[in-house]
Structure 1
């Protein structure tokens, strides 16, 4: 707990507004140095926030990351290491903990933790403790998006572009709950594909032909082709990358406008000093880097996410935090900031001491792909891997042995793999030992993905993917 927080907590525990997008990579922000994207509201927010510059997604795909946010656990503990399966509780959820502390809790937007069908009604006993509920399991039809409103089993439709209306409902929730401490999770679907569906005024902001590509986007013949069903699969890969980036950035700018509205609403409600505001994502998007698309990869474009935490009660000026924060660390960090003890089921670490300037040199966090499925199943080159990420290095091995080692300070686009470099043998040995310690700490035997599928009793198709029902 930060010392300056004690006086504030004696008066009232802070509110939490936790906002997260789907598939927003860390680098796609103006404040992060992206020369293309326009995010003025996020840039202002970053100047007022603790900016965790090395935030990672523990398992960079939707449901596993979301389950770790809700439980504070690693995927092989909570069992959600693929999409479209049900999160069985093994210990209190983050909402349960806040409920017990006297908070009102609410959830708005995409859920993707129920596994009973992507459009199915989710009853109260399957909402992981959230009291207020305006959500749907999963949809990426952003302009014809449905949801269920609390106990009403009749499905409803968000008005227009769903993130706009979800933000409006979030503001209404904030205004109606300002008399009591509250926690609100707001889960946006963009900038996840389909990319070309942001409001027109934001699409007009980006000329795809003029966008700058990252240095690690290769020549056309070095790309791994996307699945045939992909809407732009037949385009030249480099041209396709720019085209998709334009749509992706349009979604980002639309959400930037939403975050500006949220900040104004919190100020107008008189809650800014007493509200922890977080923005992050479940995972990133390769967007053509290394010739790859979307997620499930250990490269920074997939595994690293934005993580901004604003809490004026701790100070109004921004501060960079270099120590990595991992998805299971979110729950204990938020509980710690609110003076609530984490349950013993939580595996993540609170990062409050790092927010107070006590950084941990060479602190490493575990990243993983337990089982390849969906877009990057084994037949398409996907594979199981485990890795560690520090503020400076990324080290990854697959089932065959060491795979990737990057010095991210010297090689920020991860283009120089140090595996096999004689001069890097001591470094590789050190990180292999560190990875083995992390695997032991999390009881991860690093087996073949199908072994874990069998262990948890999941039913998969020939691609290793859990089929989902609409």
Structure 2
């Protein structure tokens, strides 16, 4: 009997040793990850050091890129402020959630990012620019921008330090959870980041979702703190070759001020990253750093956004999640579209993706390109408005941006076709050229399929304004005679 017990003991020890030597070296972590989503307004994809820009100083973003998934073809589905935000929060395309024009309200009925995470036990917080509360028909176009967003309009966010919209970054206020007005001291992105750090430090009971929304580098470009403006001499800056020669001196001055904002924000990013390390939560935090859309910055001779060129639609996007993907650089060259962001975050967090969401969860394709679910990003402009209204040359369009190509179509027909591999500055429009007819037909089919998937019949702007009972702002509805000549059947 004693001999048998000894043999049993040796057997148990052997099994134990076998388990210890064959089990995974890193235990599977079951704790839900925190999610921090940081995005700025109008920061285009090439304005970072890690993308090869020789002039802009972004050391913290550059370091983050070495530890993150770098989505090199991150595309704004609708490259303008309010529609992007509504798409980000819902995972839906603009014609589904109905916000395709600035300062229009996202309906309360929408199922949003914060509500989904909250239902899964997360604390929620939002700091900075909101821009989806909107104004009522008949009110002044910007009448809601200085008003508090009431609790029922916060789309599931609890911690709240928010203003609808401001571009005065040095004299900026916000409203808190009780609709009380407060002043951000100094350059507002800095105290907003401090508020985010305060939230992070106290949010220890449960996992959290935190959104930090900075206003810069959106114009006015010249308003960054002097410390950062002094870092840039316009005369030394490299101008992209798709800026017309007559505008290059102006572009250099704009670049200098724009980059000053970028460097200021990069410092804020560095401070927040340091906090995550100090709090010991960096490894179990999904951190996203990105922007809502880019800025033409006199590319093609124009400023701002809404247009389908890369300077407008491409944004930087880094996602760091050490517990999920390690702490190394991973480049993803296939597109990620704005509606894909929410389901991808849910996928990374191991949460169920609601049926209301249009976008695709690309998380499983990050390390396995064979199963990456997005081959083309859809870009839409159902209604051109404000800086790109009809009188300023704006037109309704639909477009696709693949890993290599850009193809855009207006109501009048095919408009733009670029091979972004051989023509990265989009100087050679290939549309309707005989030798590219097969490629154009192929991309037109891809666009048609995207429109079919999203139930987009590509109608004139007025049809959507009527359908959603919206009114045009100021003179946005006015069209030059050439508009009607363009779309009249031939």
Fold shared, TM-score > 0.5 on shorter chain = yes
Counterparts of 1:66 and 1:284 in 2: how far apart (Å)?
A: 14
TM-aligned CA deviation for residue 464 of structure 1: 2.2
Q: Find the counterpart in structure 1 of residue 310 from structure 2.
A: 300
Counterparts of 1:430 and 1:27 in 2: how far apart (Å)?
A: 28
The 1:381/1:389 distance shift into structure 2, 3 A limit, reads same
Q: Secondary structure at the match of 1:280?
A: strand
Aligned residue pairs total 444
The CA deviation string for residues 135-162 of structure 1, in whole angstroms up to 9 with x for no partner, is: 01000100001100111x3311101000
The 1:101/1:461 distance shift into structure 2, 3 A limit, reads closer
Q: Secondary structure at the match of 2:458?
A: coil
Asked if 2 retains the 8 angstrom alpha-carbon contact of 1:50 and 1:320, the reply is yes
The CA deviation string for residues 118-137 of structure 1, in whole angstroms up to 9 with x for no partner, is: 01111111001111111010
Q: Find the counterpart in structure 2 of residue 389 from structure 1.
A: 401
When normalised by structure 2's length, the TM-score is: 0.89
Matched, 1:106 2:125: yes
The 1:368/1:103 distance shift into structure 2, 3 A limit, reads same
Q: Secondary structure at the match of 2:424?
A: coil
Matched, 1:243 2:269: no
From 158, 169, 173, the counterpart of 1:131:
158
From 52, 66, 86, the counterpart of 1:33:
52
From 381, 390, 414, the counterpart of 1:378:
390
The CA deviation string for residues 28-87 of structure 1, in whole angstroms up to 9 with x for no partner, is: 110001111110100000010000000000000000011000000000001110100110
Q: Find the counterpart in structure 2 of residue 232 from structure 1.
A: none
Matched, 1:330 2:341: yes
Matched, 1:425 2:423: no
Question: Which of the two has higher C-alpha Rg?
Answer: 2
Q: Secondary structure at the match of 1:34?
A: coil
When normalised by structure 1's length, the TM-score is: 0.92
Q: Find the counterpart in structure 1 of residue 282 from structure 2.
A: 272
Counterparts of 1:115 and 1:121 in 2: how far apart (Å)?
A: 11
Asked if 2 retains the 8 angstrom alpha-carbon contact of 1:278 and 1:310, the reply is yes
Q: Find the counterpart in structure 2 of residue 20 from structure 1.
A: 39
Q: Which residues of 2 match residues 156-171 of structure 1 at below 5 A?
A: 156-171=182-197
Counterparts of 1:89 and 1:275 in 2: how far apart (Å)?
A: 29
TM-aligned CA deviation for residue 218 of structure 1: 1.1
The CA deviation string for residues 303-340 of structure 1, in whole angstroms up to 9 with x for no partner, is: 00011000111211110001100111111000111111
The CA deviation string for residues 153-210 of structure 1, in whole angstroms up to 9 with x for no partner, is: 3311101000000000000000000332001000000000010111111000000122
Note the residue ranges of structure 1 that are not aligned, 5 or more in a row.
221-236
Q: Find the counterpart in structure 1 of residue 146 from structure 2.
A: 119
Counterparts of 1:90 and 1:436 in 2: how far apart (Å)?
A: 29
Asked if 2 retains the 8 angstrom alpha-carbon contact of 1:9 and 1:339, the reply is no
Asked if 1 retains the 8 angstrom alpha-carbon contact of 2:125 and 2:160, the reply is yes
TM-aligned CA deviation for residue 374 of structure 1: 0.3
Counterparts of 1:8 and 1:144 in 2: how far apart (Å)?
A: 47
Q: Find the counterpart in structure 2 of residue 78 from structure 1.
A: 97
Asked if 2 retains the 8 angstrom alpha-carbon contact of 1:119 and 1:136, the reply is yes
TM-aligned CA deviation for residue 422 of structure 1: 1.1
